Amino acid sequence: MTADTMPPIYRFAPSPTGYLHIGNARTALWNALLAKKRGGTFILRFDDTDLERSRPEYAEAILEDLAWLGITPDRVEHQSARADRYVAGLEELKARGLAYACYETPEELEKKRKRLAARGLPPVYDRAGLKLTAEERAALEAEGRKPHYRFKLSGNTARWNDGVRGESHIETSSLSDPVLVRADGTFLYTFASVLDDIDMGVTDILRGEDHVSNTAVQLEIFAAFHAAPPRFAHHNLITTLSGEEMSKRKGTLSLRSFREEGMDPLAVALVAVLTGTALPVKEVESLEALAALLDEHIISRALTKFDPAEIRELSTRLLHHKPYGAVADRLAALGIAGEKAESFWLALRGNLHTLEEAKDWWAILFSQQHFGGDEAFLAAAASALPPAPFDELSWPTWTKAVSAATGRKGKELFMPLRLALTGREHGPELKAVLPLLSRDEVLARLGSARRS
């Protein structure tokens, strides 16, 4: 089996510093679904080397949010457990002259960047650390300074065939030598990620196009470790409707917010995956069916704005067609169960925006209710009520008889009956509601028990 025919290994590597938003959920879903489609492996790998900002509760939340979407990783890894591997990798690069110590503070580096900007020059690191003598390094360390380490780029052209962008290249001479490890000993994603990808056999990397410049750097680090690089693809980014960048610290577009609104997770997945592609956002029956549609070539290169209203509209459409079996457990959790639960769902689903609204309707229909109304009209309606059990013909039979008895038609006929039965001006078709009620329940709502 050749490398091209081996089952692919994809990964999603979030930092657990906040909740997933629709943008990084998009990356996770694309990787997970392509792995599913191609018979491969999907790794969830937490970039948690930043011990100050990473939180275990966020890692748990990411796992929970992915599960809500229907995604279960084949493997879960933590970069924080692999520090020894990164230390060994750094030592290997130092021994070969590819990693070098630098002693500037963040403030000093910022001053350098500002001076370059004032001269109209790109903010490329000047490799001052590479020019230090052993005596100068010793003097800096005697001051109490601790070094950070940078990778020495070749200055050559990095080339790759991007799965979305096609033939791509970047001159590494235009980039700063990347920091591999900070002065406090924490390793940066750019370096740790390459070692992880090598050790975990990652074959495909699909990520946002904001990582394109990282690709040039990482290709050189792969080469430094004599490892064949994965296939790279960079999808377009999506923004808020106002054009703002997505952020884990702005919760309005987090998966949590859509979950709390009662949105269908499949609707969230469909909009997240298909927004910004050549395919329209459309209804499909499952994640498997969505995976079958996907290929990197359908991804647009244009920046795309995300409209949360699309999720709400699609969620409602999906809900209207869900069979009872697909929602039975969730309905039972709301207290909707028993012999009438399925017929109730089929009667009500077309009028719901979220599944949670079904709880209110269950209470309306199956608790003792009397909403009142025009007593003379309701008395005539009670007298015209057909015998039980009710079926789909009972409603038109009944309304025809009530119309004949009262002379009412149209809204004047139907609205008082709707209000008497449900207490609401809008709702499901009453020909579907009537069979859910017993004759005694209908008479009680019409007030006949109170008049007898």
Q: Which two tokens stand for residue 365?
A: 């229909």
Q: Which residue has the tokens 């980039």?
A: 175
CA dist., res. 427 & res. 30, Å (int)? 38
Tell me how far CA of residue 155 lies from CA of 31, 103, 125, 152, in angstroms: 31, 22, 13, 9
> What is the chain's Cα-based Rg?
31
Residue 129's pLDDT is 96
At 254, phi and psi to the nearest 5? -75, 155
Q: Which two tokens stand for residue 429?
A: 């078709």
Rounded distance between C-alpha atoms, residue 274 and residue 267, angstroms: 11
The model carries a pTM of 0.88
Mean pLDDT per block of 10 residues along the chain (452 residues) reads 76 94 95 98 94 90 97 97 97 97 95 94 95 95 96 97 96 96 94 98 96 96 98 94 70 84 95 94 94 96 91 95 95 95 96 95 86 88 94 95 95 94 92 94 80 44
Pairwise CA distance, residues 373 & 406, whole Å: 15
Residue 370 is predicted with a pLDDT of 74
Per-residue model confidence (pLDDT) at position 193? 97
Contact, 97 vs 152, CB < 8 A? Answer: yes
Inter-residue contact 447 to 369 (CB < 8 Å): no
Q: In whole angstroms, how far apart are CA 221 and each of 52, 190, 194, 227, 335?
A: 26, 9, 7, 9, 57
Q: Return d(Cα 238, Cα 109) in angstroms, integer.
A: 31
Instruction: State both tokens at 337.
Output: 């169960």
pLDDT of residue 159: 97
**Distance between CA atoms of residues 296 and 257, nearest Å:** 28
* Residues 125, 160: Cα–Cα separation, whole Å: 24
Handedness of CA 245, 251, 255, 258 (dihedral sign): negative
pLDDT of residue 451: 45
User: According to DSSP H, which parts of 225-340 are helical?
Assistant: 255-260, 265-274, 287-292, 308-320, 324-333
Range 296-306 burial, b when 16+ CB lie within 10 A, else e:
beebeeeebeb
User: CA geometry: angle at 172 spanning 137 and 14, to 5°?
Assistant: 85
Residue 249 is predicted with a pLDDT of: 47
Burial annotation 372-381 (CB, 10 A radius, 16+ → b, else e): ebeeebbebb
Distance linking the first and last C-alpha atoms of the chain:
84
Q: What is the pLDDT of residue 371?
A: 78
Q: Which of 55, 29, 56, 54 is nearest to 44 (CA)?
A: 29
**What pLDDT, on the 0 to 100 scale, is given for residue 244?**
82
